[in-house]
Amino acid sequence: MEMINAVAVLAALAQETRLSAFRALVAAGQNGLPAGEIAAQVGVPPNTLTFHLKELSHAGIVSSRNEGRYVIYRANFDAMRGLIDYLSEECCGGHPEYCLTETTRAGNAA
């Protein structure tokens, strides 16, 4: 990931509603969620959510597909991993094991 892309993704996520919507989509996994369900989870009106989903889509971290009369949104996991890789590329002076999260450590112990 290039710095300009990382800045766009971070800027898109630097807003409470968009971050909440993105986290809901990450939790939903590959199947994604219909816009109405995201709006209900985040607690915003659908028209407000549409604006925020558009911003996340422009940043490349959310995609959408039509299913009948519904628009299903899903997190772009490749873009999310790209951002994480970019941010931790030179982690801890060449010691990436220091960058492991508690979740990652627990998974590696199993």
**pLDDT (tens digit, 9 = 90+) per residue, 12-40?**
999 999 999 999 999 999 999 999 999 99
> How far is the C-alpha of 75 from the C-alpha of 84, rounded, in Å?
14
- The helix-helix angle for 3-13 and 16-28 (nearest 10°) equals 100
CB-based contact 18:48 (threshold 8 Å): no
pLDDT in tens, 36-92: 999 999 999 999 999 999 999 999 999 999 999 999 999 999 999 999 888 887 777
- Structural domains of the chain ordered from first start: 3-109 (1.10.10.10)
